Structure 1
Amino acid sequence: MSLSAALLDGSSRVGSHQSRPFVPARPSTPRRAVLASAEPQKGKKKAGDTPNPMTAYRAPSKEGASLRAEAEAPFRGFRLFIFGAGAVGAGLATLFGLPSLIGALGGAPGATKSVAEALQDFGINVGSFAVLAFLVQRDLQAREKQMARLLREEELGACQLELANRKVLRLAQLRGFARVVLIAGTPVQVAAALAGAEPYKQQLQERGVLVVPLPFMAASGSSSAEAEAAAAAALEPPSAEDLRWRATPIRLGDWQAWFQKQAAMAGKGLAEGLYISLRLDGRVRGSGVGSPNWAALSVQLPPTEGVFKGFLDGMDGRIGTFD
């Protein structure tokens, strides 16, 4: 679904006083949707009402991350069961075959296997156990890394932003509606990144890119007054024309704390600025130091409008990490 379809309000208001006659709302066009406030609507819901995905926000939780992990890797649980059962069986076979090996090596009169056969069986059991245990350990480590990544993404999704139409949302509420690009740094660095995106603004908007500038770092003493003034002008609140292009972060300290935590985990510094590009489903597509490669994004990402709308939504590239 495109960001433009989600940001248009096609419903009409109805008078709140009982003395006024009821006026039915005008029917909306099929391609228009309502972008409500991030706060849940008060009042009772009617039976059969479909929850709006833009307002159905849930706080970050390990249970939610587990569900997303299962959706991303649906066969991991099956593999863990098969490989785990095989490892247990190979371990038991190794233990049960150990007396036969000892008896064959000691020349016991009741030995049923020769030394060569006992050694062969014991080697097969030990090798099978080692391979299966390695596969189980690899899947467990992959699941642990995946859960850590999903929990970080859930924490990032809890950060708040404000659109140009004054709607306040959580970042997670834009999943399925926008490919968000976060730019963090000093005001001068963020303004320079925004200026670099201007030549590709139309192509990026067609691909659902929404930029969130995060100028939470203090400017260095070497920055000129002209650069500071230009940065301040570039970071003014977005106008109505920027509804599909730029959003304003709220509670900048929450964004800063998240970036500082991730930079510390990755062993990176914030001095040169950082960016994070998110997929349409909210997962991290890529990240790095400085400014994104706007030219590459403008051609790599599939459009969110046209004949293939929705069909190519998942082709955002592989899931990246905090580089």
Structure 2
Amino acid sequence: MVTSARMTAKEELQRLEDERVNMRAEAEAPFRTLRLVIFGFSVASAGVGTLISLPQLAGALNGGRNAMQVDDVLTNLAINIGAVTIFAFLFRQDWKAREKQLVRLGRESALASQRVLLANGKRRTLRDLQGTSRCVLLAGTPSQVAASLAAAEPYREQLLQRGVFIVPVPIFDEPASSSGSGGDEQQGQQQQAAATIPPLERGDLRWRGEAQQLQGYKQWFQDQLSFSSSKVTSDTGLYVGLRLDGRVRASGMGGAPWARMVAELAPLEGESKWAGMLDGFDGDSAPR
């Protein structure tokens, strides 16, 4: 009974997550469902018209009584076949776009559920930080993450004004032993990270946090990389920048482009807040 209850709770959480993803998909493309209905109905209507035209064509060719002219039947048949082809193509393209959108939103939702430790000792999910923080995840070896974190220090005040919140994620260069348990593996990663990444201080509350349950982050990054031909090696790191609404706005290999983020992101506080016409729109900060 306990196992059944747990499964039921898990299924309920998954259902709520699926509903959240579908609502976000509908918000991003509010007319897609309507387009799919129109395209699908048009395909069905033109298909019926094609089926009706076939016996009409047979009657016209045989010179049947009250039969339509062959040219008229051929014209109708061509129009219906063309309509089926065009609307079927449009339906297929929109459906494929919808599937890609749901996959992307599903990945973003999975990332939003990852947990982070704040400087005040509280644990929050990345979803809890949406609306107030532009999270930037730094993944790689502990030394790579520490180097990227140190590179952000000269821009600290400017990044804070823009709501940038850094989450170091040291998930690579795992212990050489492959026979250890998952818990020992995660503990080894955290111990290795502690040797190079500075511990959280009270003043880091709005600046950075500490990734919790690294295995979940690692699985997400591995899934993310499976959609790309790029491969992370011991010589490369990875960064992922999120928008205020939690969507992935930029990602790339190596360290995060802090100077570019300062130049492109609109401040959330200070005298220059909302100074430009397009302020508030998170732009691409990927290196070019």
Q: Given the two structures, how large is their TM-score scaled by the length of structure 1?
A: 0.71
Match of 1:83 among 26, 39, 45: 39
Instruction: Report 1:256-267 matches (<5 A).
Output: 256-267=218-229
Q: Which amino acid is 1:68 matched to?
A: R
Match of 1:240 among 196, 202, 206: 202
In the alignment, the residues of structure 1 paired with residue 206 and residue 15 of structure 2 have an alpha-carbon distance, to the nearest angstrom, of: 25
2:135 aligned counterpart, secondary structure = strand
Instruction: Tell me if 1:289 matches 2:253.
Output: yes
Instruction: Tell me if 1:136 matches 2:136.
Output: no
Instruction: Tell me if 1:117 matches 2:81.
Output: no
Instruction: Report 1:265-276 matches (<5 A).
Output: 265-271=227-233, 272-276=236-240
Gaps (5+ residues) in structure 2? 1-12, 177-192
CA deviation vs aligned residue, 1:111-144 (integer Å, no higher than 9, x gap): 222x222222111111111111111111111111
Structure 1 residues 162 and 59 mapped into 2: Cα distance closer, same or farther (>3 Å)?
Answer: farther
Instruction: Report 1:1-323 matches (<5 A).
Output: 61-113=17-69, 115-218=70-173, 235-271=197-233, 272-306=236-270, 307-308=273-274, 314-317=280-283
Identity %: 46
Which structure features the higher share of helix residues? 2
Aligned match of 1:34: none
In the alignment, the residues of structure 2 paired with residue 239 and residue 105 of structure 1 have an alpha-carbon distance, to the nearest angstrom, of: 88
Cα offset, 1:68, TM superposition: 1.2
2:226 aligned counterpart, secondary structure = helix
Structure 1 residues 100 and 210 mapped into 2: Cα distance closer, same or farther (>3 Å)?
Answer: same
Cα offset, 1:289, TM superposition: 1.3
Cα offset, 1:76, TM superposition: 0.9
2:211 aligned counterpart, secondary structure = strand
Gaps (5+ residues) in structure 1? 1-56, 222-230
2:39 aligned counterpart, secondary structure = helix
CA deviation vs aligned residue, 1:44-89 (integer Å, no higher than 9, x gap): xxxxxxxxxxxxx999721211111111111111111122211211
In the alignment, the residues of structure 1 paired with residue 113 and residue 83 of structure 2 have an alpha-carbon distance, to the nearest angstrom, of: 45
2:259 aligned counterpart, secondary structure = helix
Structure 1 residues 153 and 66 mapped into 2: Cα distance closer, same or farther (>3 Å)?
Answer: same
Q: Kindly indicate whether the alpha-carbon contact (under 8 Å) linking 1:60 and 1:154 is maintained by their aligned counterparts in 2.
A: no
2:251 aligned counterpart, secondary structure = strand
Structure 1 residues 107 and 172 mapped into 2: Cα distance closer, same or farther (>3 Å)?
Answer: same
CA deviation vs aligned residue, 1:163-204 (integer Å, no higher than 9, x gap): 111111011111111000111000111122112222222221
CA deviation vs aligned residue, 1:180-238 (integer Å, no higher than 9, x gap): 011100011112211222222222111101011111211799xxxxxxxxx86651222
1:265 aligned counterpart, secondary structure = coil
1:68 aligned counterpart, secondary structure = helix
Aligned match of 1:9: none
Structure 1 residues 58 and 238 mapped into 2: Cα distance closer, same or farther (>3 Å)?
Answer: farther
In the alignment, the residues of structure 2 paired with residue 105 and residue 291 of structure 1 have an alpha-carbon distance, to the nearest angstrom, of: 72
1:282 aligned counterpart, secondary structure = coil
Aligned match of 2:187: none
Q: Kindly indicate whether the alpha-carbon contact (under 8 Å) linking 1:158 and 1:172 is maintained by their aligned counterparts in 2.
A: yes
Q: Kindly indicate whether the alpha-carbon contact (under 8 Å) linking 1:280 and 1:314 is maintained by their aligned counterparts in 2.
A: no
Q: Kindly indicate whether the alpha-carbon contact (under 8 Å) linking 2:261 and 2:285 is maintained by their aligned counterparts in 1.
A: no
Q: Given the two structures, how large is their TM-score scaled by the length of structure 2?
A: 0.80
Q: Which amino acid is 1:122 matched to?
A: L
Structure 1 residues 304 and 86 mapped into 2: Cα distance closer, same or farther (>3 Å)?
Answer: same
In the alignment, the residues of structure 2 paired with residue 245 and residue 161 of structure 1 have an alpha-carbon distance, to the nearest angstrom, of: 13
Q: Kindly indicate whether the alpha-carbon contact (under 8 Å) linking 1:65 and 1:154 is maintained by their aligned counterparts in 2.
A: yes
1:66 aligned counterpart, secondary structure = helix
Structure 1 residues 302 and 234 mapped into 2: Cα distance closer, same or farther (>3 Å)?
Answer: farther
